[in-house]
Amino acid sequence: MSDLARRSVLVIGAGGLGGPVALTLAAAGVGRLVLVDDDAIETSNLNRQPLFTEKDVGQRKAAAAAQRLRRLHPGLEVEALDRRFDDASAIELARSVDLLVDGSDNFATKFLASDAAVATGRMLVHGGVLRYTAQLFTVAPGVAGCLRCLFEAAPPPGSVPTCAQAGVLGPLAGTAGSLMAQEALRLLAGERGAYAGRLLIYDARTARARFVPVRKRADCLGCEGGRRVGVAAEPVPAGGGGAA
Rounded Cα distance between 79 and 158, Å, is 32
Nearer to Zn ion, 73 or 148 (CB): 148
The 8-class DSSP code of residue 234 comes to P
Contacts of 236 by beta carbon, 8 Å cutoff, 6+ apart: 121, 141, 142, 143
Question: Pairing between strand 198-203 and 8-12?
Answer: unpaired
The smaller minimum CB distance to Zn ion, of residues 60 and 227, is found at 227
Min CB(78)–Zn ion separation in Å: 31
- Per the document, the length of the chain is 244
Binding residues vs Zn ion (CB under 5 A) = 145-146, 148-149, 220, 222-223
| Cβ-Cβ contacts under 8 Å for 238 (sequence gap 6 or more) | none
As measured in angstroms, the least distance from the Cβ of 103 to Zn ion is 21
Interatomic CA distance for residues 141 and 223, integer angstroms: 8
In the complex, the smallest distance separating the C-beta of residue 150 from Zn ion, rounded to whole angstroms, is 8
What is the smallest separation between the CB atom of 171 and Zn ion, expressed in angstroms?
32
Q: Which is nearer to Zn ion, 105 or 115 (CB)?
A: 115
Nearer to Zn ion, 204 or 233 (CB): 233
> Could you tell me the smallest distance in angstroms from the CB atom of residue 39 to Zn ion?
28
Q: Which is nearer to Zn ion, 78 or 125 (CB)?
A: 125
Number of H helices, E strands in the chain: 7, 8
